[in-house]
Structure 1
Amino acid sequence: MTAHFPVTPASNPPPSQANLLEARNLSKAYGPVTVLSDVSFDVPARSVVTLVGENGAGKSTVFNILSGLTRPDRGTITFAGQPFRPDSHRAAVRLGVTRVFQEQSLVHNVPVYENLLIGEEARYARFGQWVDRKAMVRAARRIVETAGLDVDVERRTGDYDFSTRQSIEIARACLTPTLIRGVGEPLILLDEPTSALDRRDEDTFFDLVREVRKYGSLLFVSHRMAEVLDISDVIYVLKDGALAARLRPDETDEHHLHGLMVGRERARDYYYEARQHRELPPRAGLRAEGIRAAAGASEVTLEVRPGEILGIGGLLDSGKSELGKAIAGVRAPVGGTVALKDGAPQAPDIRRSARAGLGYIPAERLVEGIIPAFPVAWNFSIGSGCDLFSTRAGFWRRGAERRAAHRHIEALAVRSARPETPMHRLSGGNQQKVVLARWLERRPEVLVLDNPTRGVDAGAKQEIYRVLRDLTDQGVAIVLITDELLELIGLSNRILIMQRGAVVADVPAPADAKPSEQDLVALMLPGAASSSEQVEITT
Structure 2
Amino acid sequence: MSETATISLRGVSKSYGPVHALQNVSLDVSRGEVLGLIGENGAGKSTLIGVLTGTVRPDAGELHVNGESVGLGHSRTLRELGISVVVQEQALVDALRVYENIYLGCEGEIGGIGPGRRRKLRNAAQKLLDELGIDGLRADAVVAELTYPQRQLVEIARAFSRITEESAAPVILLDEPTSALTETEVEILFALIEGWRDRVCFIFVSHILQDVLRISTRLLVLRDGRSIETLSAEGVTAERLHELMVGSERSADYYREGDQTGATSEVALVELRGASCAGEFEGVDLVIRPGEVVGLAGVIGSGKASVAAAVAGAETLSTGSIHVAGQDRTHWSVPAAVTSGVLYIPPERAQDSLFRSASVRNNISIGFLDLLRHRWTRLLALRTERERTTTLARTLQVKAPSLSTPIGELSGGNQQKAIFARWQGRECKVLVLSDPTRGIDVGTREEIYTLVRTMAASGVGVLLCAESLEEVIGMSDRIVVMKDGVISAELTAPADNKPAEVDVIKHMM
Q: Which residue of 2 aligns with 1:276?
A: 260
The amino acid of 2:347's aligned partner reads A
Q: Which residue of 1 aligns with 2:125?
A: 140
Q: Which residue of 2 aligns with 1:311?
A: 295
Q: Which residue of 1 aligns with 2:348?
A: 364
CA distance in 2, matches of 1:354, 1:324: 14
Q: Which residue of 1 aligns with 2:12?
A: 26
Note the alpha carbon deviations across 1:459-495, whole angstroms, 9 max, x for none: 0000001000100111000000110111111101111
Q: Does 1:52 align with 2:38?
A: yes
Taking structure 1 as the reference length, the TM-score comes to: 0.90
Q: Tell me how far 1:346 sits from its aligned partner.
A: 3.6
**What is the aligned-residue identity percentage?**
36
Q: Does 1:330 align with 2:311?
A: no
Change (3 A) 1:388 1:331: farther
Change (3 A) 1:115 1:213: same
CA distance in 2, matches of 1:382, 1:289: 32
CA distance in 2, matches of 1:298, 1:182: 52
Note the alpha carbon deviations across 1:225-282, whole angstroms, 9 max, x for none: 1111111111111000001111212242111111111111111121142222145311
Change (3 A) 1:172 1:513: same
Structure 2 counterparts to residues 398-477 of structure 1, below 5 A? 398-477=382-461
Change (3 A) 1:245 1:279: same
CA distance in 2, matches of 1:267, 1:126: 56
Note the alpha carbon deviations across 1:102-154, whole angstroms, 9 max, x for none: 01122233221111111111225655x55611211221122112211112212
Alignment equivalent of 1:386, drawn from 366, 370, 374? 370
In 2, are the aligned partners of 1:338 and 1:347 still within 8 Å (CA)?
no
Which stretch of the first structure deviates more once superposed, 393-402 or 205-214? 393-402
Q: Which residue of 1 aligns with 2:247?
A: 263
In 2, are the aligned partners of 1:373 and 1:423 still within 8 Å (CA)?
yes
CA distance in 2, matches of 1:406, 1:455: 25
Q: Does 1:176 align with 2:157?
A: no
CA distance in 1, matches of 2:486, 2:107: 43
In 1, are the aligned partners of 2:347 and 2:438 still within 8 Å (CA)?
yes
Change (3 A) 1:258 1:524: same
CA distance in 2, matches of 1:286, 1:93: 50
Q: Which residue of 2 aligns with 1:510?
A: 494
CA distance in 2, matches of 1:346, 1:176: 48
CA distance in 2, matches of 1:279, 1:154: 49
In 2, are the aligned partners of 1:389 and 1:400 still within 8 Å (CA)?
no
Q: Which residue of 2 aligns with 1:72?
A: 58
The amino acid of 1:94's aligned partner reads E
CA distance in 2, matches of 1:401, 1:357: 20
In 2, are the aligned partners of 1:406 and 1:418 still within 8 Å (CA)?
no
In 1, are the aligned partners of 2:42 and 2:399 still within 8 Å (CA)?
yes
CA distance in 2, matches of 1:213, 1:97: 15
In 2, are the aligned partners of 1:402 and 1:419 still within 8 Å (CA)?
no
Q: Which residue of 2 aligns with 1:481?
A: 465
Note the alpha carbon deviations across 1:483-515, whole angstroms, 9 max, x for none: 011111110111111122211111211111112
CA distance in 1, matches of 2:115, 2:68: 36
Q: Tell me how far 1:296 sits from its aligned partner.
A: 6.6
Which stretch of the first structure deviates more once superposed, 235-244 or 281-290? 281-290
Q: Which residue of 2 aligns with 1:11?
A: none
Change (3 A) 1:521 1:234: same
Note the alpha carbon deviations across 1:398-419, whole angstroms, 9 max, x for none: 2222222211221111122522
Paired residue secondary structure (1:288): strand
Q: Tell me how far 1:379 sits from its aligned partner.
A: 0.7
CA distance in 2, matches of 1:344, 1:100: 44
CA distance in 1, matches of 2:429, 2:493: 22
Change (3 A) 1:457 1:97: same
In 2, are the aligned partners of 1:162 and 1:316 still within 8 Å (CA)?
no
CA distance in 2, matches of 1:494, 1:390: 42
Q: Which residue of 2 aligns with 1:237?
A: 221
Change (3 A) 1:35 1:95: same
Change (3 A) 1:295 1:22: closer
In 2, are the aligned partners of 1:96 and 1:185 still within 8 Å (CA)?
yes
CA distance in 1, matches of 2:335, 2:206: 36
In 1, are the aligned partners of 2:97 and 2:141 still within 8 Å (CA)?
yes
Q: Which residue of 1 aligns with 2:197?
A: 213
**Ranges in structure 1 where 5+ consecutive residues have no aligned partner:** 1-16, 526-539
Paired residue secondary structure (1:444): coil
In 2, are the aligned partners of 1:381 and 1:389 still within 8 Å (CA)?
no
In 1, are the aligned partners of 2:31 and 2:198 still within 8 Å (CA)?
no
In 2, are the aligned partners of 1:357 and 1:443 still within 8 Å (CA)?
yes
Q: Which residue of 2 aligns with 1:7?
A: none
In 2, are the aligned partners of 1:376 and 1:417 still within 8 Å (CA)?
no
Note the alpha carbon deviations across 1:361-381, whole angstroms, 9 max, x for none: 110111101011000111112
Alignment equivalent of 1:353, drawn from 328, 334, 337? 337
CA distance in 2, matches of 1:385, 1:502: 38
In 2, are the aligned partners of 1:56 and 1:427 still within 8 Å (CA)?
yes
Paired residue secondary structure (2:496): coil
May I ask how many residue pairs the two structures share in their alignment? 506
Note the alpha carbon deviations across 1:299-340, whole angstroms, 9 max, x for none: 211101111100001111111111111111123221333223
Paired residue secondary structure (1:243): strand
Q: Does 1:165 align with 2:151?
A: yes
Paired residue secondary structure (2:347): coil
Note the alpha carbon deviations across 1:407-446, whole angstroms, 9 max, x for none: 1221111122522111011001110111111111113010
Paired residue secondary structure (1:459): helix
CA distance in 2, matches of 1:522, 1:159: 30
In 2, are the aligned partners of 1:19 and 1:42 still within 8 Å (CA)?
no
Q: Tell me how far 1:185 sits from its aligned partner.
A: 4.1
CA distance in 1, matches of 2:172, 2:112: 30
Change (3 A) 1:148 1:274: same
CA distance in 1, matches of 2:171, 2:376: 56
The amino acid of 1:178's aligned partner reads I
